[in-house]
Amino acid sequence: MDNQIFADLDTSPRILLGPGPSMVSPRVLRSMTTPLLGHLDPEFLKVMDEEQALLRLVFQTRNELTLTVPGTGSAGMEAALSNFIEPGDPVLIAVMGFFGERLAEMARRYGAQVDRVEVAWGQKFDPAEIEQALKAKKYKLLVMVHAETSTGALQTHVPEIAAAAHRAGALVVLDTVTSLGGLPVEIDRWDVDIAYSAAQKSLSCPPGLAPITVSARAREVLQNRKTPVANWYLDLTGLEKYWGPARAYHHTAPISTHFAMREGLRIVLEEGLEARFARHRAHAEILWEGLEALDLPPLIPLDYRLPTLTTPQLSPSIDDITVRRRLLDEYNIEIAGGFGPLKGKVWRIGLMGFSSRRENVVLLLSALRDLLQSP
Amino acid sequence: MDNQIFADLDTSPRILLGPGPSMVSPRVLRSMTTPLLGHLDPEFLKVMDEEQALLRLVFQTRNELTLTVPGTGSAGMEAALSNFIEPGDPVLIAVMGFFGERLAEMARRYGAQVDRVEVAWGQKFDPAEIEQALKAKKYKLLVMVHAETSTGALQTHVPEIAAAAHRAGALVVLDTVTSLGGLPVEIDRWDVDIAYSAAQKSLSCPPGLAPITVSARAREVLQNRKTPVANWYLDLTGLEKYWGPARAYHHTAPISTHFAMREGLRIVLEEGLEARFARHRAHAEILWEGLEALDLPPLIPLDYRLPTLTTPQLSPSIDDITVRRRLLDEYNIEIAGGFGPLKGKVWRIGLMGFSSRRENVVLLLSALRDLLQSP
């Protein structure tokens, strides 16, 4: 057996401009050096309460059932589905990219009868397409992605789609992984029933907690389940007893990650949501202009292009992997490639949270200019 | 809507002597201030490789499928069950306390036909009892707890029980949440098929990752499943593609928690397993002697008493809740109460990892002496 214990951790100072994780403020990193509290210590319960209050502000909701589940963004996705699906439930998934596919896969695993409406990767839905599908059959859930991380497309018209779903008797599940904290997400005004996100994108916290919020209407559906939630760890009926006044032990919370989440949310609200959205937008616009000048035009038309994640199209002469490797090795910049039908055809450039900075955009554009001109 | 953003985090310096989380070394806390890497950055993949190699040393195994799942200890438990249970599978759970109950509950939720063998809380199994149950019916899994956190009992004779299970054609699942890193856990020598643990007990890392290891025999069972694992997030077939040479994207790993885990495991192995076990034992013995002197005799007989978690019995004159509150408020010491049938009858005192220190034992005994003599 190998008895080597390895050297001190010694990492490169990466500039994270991929689809997440984004960079984390030194304030948030420092918060994790706080010595631990027990998961039932009154001081820790206060941290949870504050985190919950801050999360409601960020989600723009008064939903009582608002909390973080103890896992990364995919755990948020899984919590949103596993709690509201019972075997045999009909579920409509709107697929416009990779994360729609993942939602369909997860829903199937929990025994849902999954139907899909679909547009090509890089497109978004017209509300009428979804409304038509909702009229053809009665669904328990309509599930859609607000900001598709695989394509850079924003699903606009969420309020209209949610209204159509409610007219058809379905609950609305919204993936806000790549939108929350970077562009408007207004859960109550849009009348979304279940929304989840991730810590490590526009909230700029380290991954490990996934925000979720549940409307009173959806909570009632949860309380009236006939079968227990298969997923014990993410069962919101257990989690809400820990977050609520009962304070019943469920799991040992990831204490240090909660310290980070609280600090990261404080930073979001100190900046202010409107100012934060404007900053994300302004830096994205500089990026877009620079990409056009480099003959790397964004895939997504301006009217539904995400400010948090841009997908420039690569001309066939560009060696995708080599350029990305050189960005990392020579400039310490991480961006990501496309996948699925977009593999080799686009890059994915994130400007989220602490990473959304003018100096990062200017450096990236400069580096790309050098690498594309001297291959 | 409340626009208060809350003050800087300002916590009390707790001395964590409950059943976990335990205290975390400043080295481990500092490791979390490392700026983030992307979850597919070659430098992060190296961190994962090193964490995996260290974990194998701690589990004393050569199992290829050894990794941490992205959640706290209960996620490890859930991964161990959900990956190996298909609907209708007969599963035998050996229940000797609260965590055996939880295992039975989780197994039921994944559709297992659950049978139980049971002893009273505070007892452990004679291998013959389990062997008898294994002979009565063919089971896919035998599931048991090595160190029962609710009672302080150690299940001895794991190798004999594992051999009996294998003779009967069952795989062995072992909960090592409160043992790994604090007392011997020898996965290969004991021939255990699936073992899981938690970061935040005797490994003294912040909660948020759960170590798991899977034998070649169990891995084959996993690969030959007829149905997909319902739990997508904890599906080991997806996780092992990320940890293995394919490096296929699965989820965004909790980067900072992995930095902490690597550093915490380095500390475990720098101390050396034998020295670490001896330290846990030595400090537990000081505690036990002191508790006897205070008329707080440990519930569990010496021959199967855990060194990591002690459950002193309370005489009826002791006001459980008041004493624990005063320990916290006046001394910053956290210990825990009993629950289930042991509620109000025992405390749960953990001496795990960085918390297992002579000064902590002496302070706790002194504080208890003062509080019990001047109520």
Q: Does A269 touch chain B (CB under 8 A)?
A: yes
Span B7-15, average pLDDT: 97
| Cross-chain Cβ contact B39/A21 below 8 Å | yes
The nearest CA of chain B is from the CA of A33 a distance in Å of 5
Is pLDDT above 70 for B291?
yes
The nearest CA of chain B is from the CA of A162 a distance in Å of 23
Question: What pLDDT does B334 receive?
Answer: 98
**Average pLDDT taken over every residue of chain B:** 97
Question: What pLDDT does A5 receive?
Answer: 82
Question: Are B15-21+272-373 and B26-269 the same fold in CATH?
Answer: no
C-alpha A96/C-alpha B182 separation (Å) is: 49
| Cross-chain Cβ contact A206/B38 below 8 Å | no
What band does B5 get if pLDDT is binned at 50, 70 and 90? confident
| Cross-chain Cβ contact A252/B56 below 8 Å | no
Residue found under tokens 């919590």: A79
| Cross-chain Cβ contact A72/B74 below 8 Å | no
Report the residue from B14, B31, B255 with minimal CB separation from A37.
Answer: B14
Contact list, A204 vs chain B (CB under 8 Å): none
Instruction: Please say whether the beta carbons of A66 and A197 come within 8 A.
Output: no
- B26-269 maps to CATH 3.40.50.300: no
Look at B2 and A68; give whichever has higher pLDDT.
A68
Span A340-345, average pLDDT: 96
C-alpha A144/C-alpha A91 separation (Å) is: 11
Match domain A15-21+273-373 to its CATH number in 3.40.800.10, 3.90.1150.10, 3.90.120.10, 3.40.50.1820.
3.90.1150.10
Q: Does A41 touch chain B (CB under 8 A)?
A: yes
Span B256-266, average pLDDT: 98
Is pLDDT above 90 for A1?
no
Look at B1 and A62; give whichever has higher pLDDT.
A62
Could you tell me which CATH number the domain at B15-21+272-373 has? 3.90.1150.10
Closest chain B residue to A85 measured between Cα atoms?
Answer: B230
Q: Does B69 touch chain A (CB under 8 A)?
A: no
CA distances, A22 to each of A70, A162, A208, B72, B73 (Å): 19, 30, 13, 23, 27
**A 8-37 near B (Cβ less than 8 A):** 9, 11-14, 16, 18, 20-21, 23-24, 26, 29-37
| Cross-chain Cβ contact A257/B105 below 8 Å | no
CB burial of residue A135 (10 Å; 0-12, 13-18, 19+)? exposed
Q: Does B180 touch chain A (CB under 8 A)?
A: no
Question: pTM of whole model > 0.90?
Answer: yes
**A 87-126 near B (Cβ less than 8 A):** 102, 105-106, 108-111
What is the three-class DSSP state of A122? coil
The gap from C-alpha B47 to its chain's centroid, in whole angstroms, comes to 23
**Average pLDDT taken over every residue of chain A:** 97
Report the residue from A57, A78, A251 with minimal CB separation from B72.
Answer: A251
| Cross-chain Cβ contact B252/A16 below 8 Å | no
* Region for A63 from its dihedrals, namely left if φ exceeds 0, alpha if ψ lies in -120 to 50, beta otherwise: beta
CA distances, B288 to each of B126, B292, B361 (Å): 25, 6, 10
C-alpha B43/C-alpha A11 separation (Å) is: 7
Span A346-375, average pLDDT: 95
* Token digits of residue A30: 């420092």
Span A232-241, average pLDDT: 98
- Tell me the CA end-to-end span of chain B in Å, nearest whole number: 45
Is pLDDT above 90 for A375?
no
Question: What pLDDT does A47 receive?
Answer: 98
Report the residue from A3, A78, A249 with minimal CB separation from B232.
Answer: A78
Instruction: Please say whether the beta carbons of A205 and A28 come within 8 A.
Output: yes
pLDDT in tens, A269-314: 999 999 999 999 999 999 999 999 999 999 999 999 999 999 999 9
CA distances, A312 to each of A188, A309, A338, A372 (Å): 33, 10, 10, 14
* Token digits of residue B178: 């409160």
| Cross-chain Cβ contact B36/A21 below 8 Å | yes
Pairs of residues, one from chain A and one from chain B, whose beta carbons lie less than 8 Å apart: 254
C-alpha A83/C-alpha A225 separation (Å) is: 9
**A 188-247 near B (Cβ less than 8 A):** 198, 200, 206-208, 228-234
Q: Residue ranges of the domains in chain B? A: 15-21+272-373, 26-269
Buried b (16+ CB within 10 A) or exposed e, B275-284: ebbebbeebb
Is pLDDT above 60 for A264?
yes
Percent of all residues in chain B with a pLDDT value above 90, rounded to a whole number:
98
Contact list, A270 vs chain B (CB under 8 Å): 5
Q: Does B45 touch chain A (CB under 8 A)?
A: no
Contact list, B24 vs chain A (CB under 8 Å): 35-36, 256
Question: What pLDDT does B2 receive?
Answer: 46
pLDDT in tens, B104-120: 999 999 999 999 999 99
Contact list, A9 vs chain B (CB under 8 Å): 31, 34, 47, 259, 262-263
Closest chain A residue to B273 measured between Cα atoms?
Answer: A3
| Cross-chain Cβ contact A231/B230 below 8 Å | yes
The gap from C-alpha A168 to its chain's centroid, in whole angstroms, comes to 27
The nearest CA of chain A is from the CA of B292 a distance in Å of 26
- CA diameter of chain B: 63
Question: What pLDDT does B1 receive?
Answer: 41
* Token digits of residue A165: 């779903």
| Cross-chain Cβ contact B255/A3 below 8 Å | no
Report the residue from B2, B29, B254 with minimal CB separation from A33.
Answer: B29
Instruction: Please say whether the beta carbons of A175 and A151 come within 8 A.
Output: no
Which are the contacts of B39, defined by CB distance < 8 A and separation ≥ 6?
A21, A207, B249, B252, B253, B255
| Cross-chain Cβ contact B9/A263 below 8 Å | yes
Q: Count other C-beta atoms under 10 Å from residue B85's C-beta.
A: 28
